[in-house]
Amino acid sequence: MLVGYVHGKDALTVYVIDGDVTVNGPLVFEQSDAYAALYVTGNLICDNAYVAWDAQLFVGGSLTVKELLATYLTDAGHFSIKGALVAGSWL
C-alpha cells in the first residue's frame, strides 16, 4: 500500500479509514514538503512499514508490523499510535 502526495500533481489529502486495515505486504508512507495524513481509526497490521520525512500517520488502535518498521521523520512528521505498537524490528 503506497500512501502519499506528489508535489504539483496531487491535491493535499487526509485519508481516513474507519476500522481496521490489514496490508498483505509493505506499507510505504513518505512525504516531502507535503502534509497528507493517514488516519486509521482501528488497528493497522502489515508485513513491513516505512514511514518517512513529513508523513503524518495516526492509528486509533494498535499497530502491528510483522517484520521491519523503519521510521525517519522530520519535525513536521507525525507518528501517533494510541494502542500497542508491536514490531519484529524497529529502525
CA 91, 15, 3, 64 torsion: positive or negative? positive
Rounded-to-integer distance, Cα 11 and Cα 22, Å? 25
Rounded-to-integer distance, Cα 70 and Cα 72, Å? 7
Written as nine digits, the cell of 88 is: 519484529
Q: What is the pLDDT of residue 10?
A: 65
Give per-residue pLDDT as tens, 14-60: 889 999 999 999 999 988 777 789 999 999 999 999 999 999 999 99
Residue 48 contacts residue 27 (beta carbons within 8 Å):
yes
Amino acid sitting at position 14? V
